[in-house]
Structure 1
Amino acid sequence: MLQNALSDAQKSQYWDDGYLFPLDLMTSDEAATWRDEIEVIEKDWLAADLPLPLGTYKRVNSHVVMPMAAKLASDKRVLDIVEGVLGPDILIWSAEFFIKEPRTKAHVSMHQDLTYWGLGEIDGLVTAWIALSPATVASGCMDFVRASHKNPILPHTDTHEADNLLSRGQEVAVDISPDDKTAIELQAGQMSLHHGLTIHGSGPNTSNDRRIGFVIRYVKPEIAQQVADRDYAMLARGADRPGNFTNIAEPRTLFDPASLALYDEIRKEQAAALMKGSKDTKRLYG
């Protein structure tokens, strides 16, 4: 049976553990349809004359320039589940396709998401991770450290590793035992949720298939950017009464000029927070 809302027990588990999985969001056939759509875009636009590489638009703020990303991030089924964590007013802060190619070394070091986002140590953000292909230990699924969201933002070290998919190659500067990690295995169509302070990472994809995840960061309107001069979000449900974010609309067509200009504006503002103090300021949108 597909999940249509969080039960009280699931809400408690999320706040106890800092994550929740697996949630049956859609059928595997529908997930395959979404996968087909992003792979058609990859095929059709790879050689297009875009201002930035296609991989950048997929990997960072895809909802700004790709209607399918905005549509999936605004899907009622996802929002019904997220409402159980954030409440009725929900903003989309970011959305991205997190893809690991088969038999590659790309990985994600153990880290806390909120470390460099400029949003502070908050409860009002949740990450939804939707599997469009199987996410298994072999394909490099995420590992979560249970209850680690109850810590503040911990010290991180910038590794700048070439195979690290994070903007700075950031890694939490504490020892984490393999026994403390929970493998977040998801089948296509399933979803996980995690808190912005939950320590997590993932290994390389040693399988023969692509590991394709669609990742959305949702925030409550009461959250505010603390580092950059301005921040942006898309209203997904309810109302944005505080007005802490510049509200943006869904893109009308793929990579239209207005959306590309907005994307460039957003990346310059967000880079001020995401790359503050980094020696590799081009890595985020390189």
Structure 2
Amino acid sequence: MAVPNDIHSVIWPSGPSPMEWIKSKPTAMWRETFGKDGYLVVKDLLTKAELEIYQDVCTKMIQGDIDTATHRHDLGNVAEQKQSYIENICQILWPSMYVRHLDEGPVHRRVLAIAQCLLGEDIVFDHDMILAKAPFTDTMTPWHQDEAYWPDVADKRALMCWTSLDNAVKDNGCMWFGRGSHKGMLRVHTPVKEGCHLLSCETYESDDMVCVEIPAGSCTFHHARTLHYTCGNTTNQMRRAIVTSYRSAAMLKEFVRAGHDHGKRFQDTTEHEDEFKKSAALYDLPHDDVIV
């Protein structure tokens, strides 16, 4: 697998360790809220300096200064392309493969500490991606549950963190959640359009849908079974987010055995077979940030 060029690297400002950072946070309230609602808002995950680093990396990837073509897709290809210069919904899988030390930053390390607080100390990092909705692309991401995209495994403990790199509001595509929907069943999902990856499911009048606007540098967490949705971007501003996913180590082992790696491999799986085998070690991560 391609090794990121050394010129594409980041240096993080000094700051408290994830363990030190989380000690001052209302973790008991976070657990209660997440367990009840299936989602959680955490304000000011990032400092201004940290946010600017992520914004710079994201801009370079979107503009092509960092070539992520192998893992770049249009998640909104169900509709005609609205802007000639960018996808309707730009999805870049595994950005941490392309920038050295990106996965050592607060989005990965602080969020892991929170994820372990919410779901258990055996929760580990799974994958990351960047999602961007450019100005006036006006392409929604339909209501769905993330669990519908994954193999059926015994351990269902999984969550996603959506960290906004711009102020996320209703008109540019902030997150909406179905409050408490994680306690229900996995709904039937179907492709929005034949041959496209995007899935959607039915919603009901009884669903408690909540619009969650957050400032840049803040984040939302949601359970893998929580209904969620984003509107299209009808504004003249970008709406960028970095998404990190977490699940139990046992669940990740099952994913690896099933060959499910969220698009990490190149298309030529034979050439990169050795590299894929290394992904089996993904779940064997250091646990210096475990919440006990």
Aligned position for 1:198: 226
Q: With structure 2 as the length reference, what TM-score do the two structures score?
A: 0.68
**How far off is 1:81 after superposition?**
1.6
SS of residue paired to 1:186: coil
Aligned position for 2:216: 188
1:42–1:154 CA distance, 2 compared to 1 (3 A): closer
Letter in 2 for 1:34: Y
Letter in 1 for 2:226: T
Cα distance in 2 for partners of 1:113, 1:263 equals 29
SS of residue paired to 2:236: coil
SS of residue paired to 1:32: helix
SS of residue paired to 2:57: helix
Aligned position for 2:32: 12
Give yes or no for contact 1:19–1:193 (8 Å, CA) kept in 2. yes
Give yes or no for contact 1:31–1:131 (8 Å, CA) kept in 2. no
**How far off is 1:79 after superposition?**
2.2
Range moving further from structure 2, 57-66 or 118-127:
57-66
1:263–1:173 CA distance, 2 compared to 1 (3 A): farther
Q: In the TM superposition, what are the counterparts of 1:107-122 in structure 2 within 5 Å?
A: 107-120=140-153, 122=155
Aligned position for 1:156: 189
Aligned position for 1:229: 258
Segments of 5+ residues of structure 2 without an aligned counterpart are: 1-19, 75-89, 278-292
Give 2:244's match in structure 1, choosing from 212, 216, 219.
216
Cα distance in 1 for partners of 2:26, 2:153 equals 26
**How far off is 1:40 after superposition?**
2.5
Aligned position for 1:168: 197
Q: Does 1:52 align with 2:81?
A: no
Q: In the TM superposition, what are the counterparts of 1:65-84 in structure 2 within 5 Å?
A: 65-67=98-100, 69-72=102-105, 75-84=108-117
What's the CA shift string for 1:159-214, capped at 9, x where partnerless? 1289xxxx62211133357x821112111110111000000111101121110110
Aligned position for 2:124: 91
Cα distance in 1 for partners of 2:274, 2:118 equals 28
Q: Between the two proteins, what is the percent identity of the paired residues?
A: 24
Give yes or no for contact 2:112–2:125 (8 Å, CA) kept in 1. no
Range moving further from structure 2, 220-229 or 131-140:
220-229
Aligned position for 2:85: none
Give yes or no for contact 1:121–1:152 (8 Å, CA) kept in 2. no
Cα distance in 1 for partners of 2:177, 2:111 equals 21
Cα distance in 1 for partners of 2:139, 2:102 equals 23
Cα distance in 2 for partners of 1:228, 1:106 equals 35
SS of residue paired to 1:24: coil
1:227–1:20 CA distance, 2 compared to 1 (3 A): same
SS of residue paired to 1:85: helix
Cα distance in 2 for partners of 1:227, 1:264 equals 13
Segments of 5+ residues of structure 1 without an aligned counterpart are: 234-247, 249-254, 267-286
Query: Aligned residue pairs: how many?
Result: 235
Q: With structure 1 as the length reference, what TM-score do the two structures score?
A: 0.69
**How far off is 1:7 after superposition?**
1.9
1:55–1:67 CA distance, 2 compared to 1 (3 A): farther
Cα distance in 2 for partners of 1:58, 1:68 equals 20
SS of residue paired to 1:225: helix
**How far off is 1:155 after superposition?**
0.8
What's the CA shift string for 1:119-145, capped at 9, x where partnerless? 447542111111111111111111100
